[in-house]
Amino acid sequence: MTNPTSVPPSRAGTGLRIGVLALQGDFREHLHAMEDAGATCIGVRRPAELDGLDGLVIPGGESTTIDKLSRAFGLREPLRRHIQDGLPVFGSCAGMILLAEEIADPAKDLAGNPQQTFGGLDITVRRNAFGRQRESFETDLDFRGLDFSATANGVAPVHAVFIRGPWVERVGDGVEVLAKVEPARASHPGALAGTARIVAVRSGKLLATSFHPEVTGEKRVHELFIRMIRGEA
């Protein structure tokens, strides 16, 4: 299934300079999505490349690997500072984990040290919460904040792909829940124990999803992020 774009097709990102953290993961897909929206894009691998950005995307991938590489490339602390200073950031899947202030089940290195995050979102996430690779699934989500894409038939649901995705177990004050997965809509509903799971959140100009809009042709989540950067959402 292909998701609808805004109607008419949007070039809302024109004039914006948006970075995509390009250490590991599906950063190319996010670069293409942002370029399709009209933005000027850059893959970010060095601290200096954070300067002058209007926004940043943290892609899906391996959160532990991105964490380690961010420190190896000297990016972790500069990135944390930029987030604290108000840089708009969108994180998908692993990016959600890296934006979280707390991980319920952090991976540990050989010395027993838990993985680190960049922080910014007052949420607690659980890694690989929906299962392993073989338990990946797709479903339609009611997603708040996409009124700009409404047609005469209303706002179409977001068709979401979950690949070893996290879910959010706690949201703090000021964090808005944008979407949840109901047990009946998951491929293995027993894992949800009868409880809807939070899979998209927003706080200020920080946005995070458990799923991968960049791999399904869904354009509206990226456009929402662009509108957040511009102060239009």
Residues 6+ apart with CB under 8 A from 167: 125, 126, 129, 130, 181, 197, 198, 199, 210
**Active-site entry in 214, 218, 222, 223:** 214
80, burial (CB in 10 Å: exposed 0-12, middle 13-18, buried 19+): middle
Nearest to 84, CA basis, from 214, 205, 195, 191 = 205
- Identify whether 212 is a catalytic site residue: yes
- Identify whether 159 is a catalytic site residue: no
Kindly give the interhelix angle for 76-84 and 63-72, rounded to the nearest 10 degrees. 100
Buried (b) or exposed (e) across 87-107, using 16+ Cβ within 10 A?
A: bbbbbbbbbbbbbbeebeebb
**Active-site entry in 29, 41, 82, 93:** 93
**Active-site entry in 212, 218, 222, 223:** 212
- Identify whether 222 is a catalytic site residue: no
Looking at the annotation, which residues are catalytic? 93, 212, 214
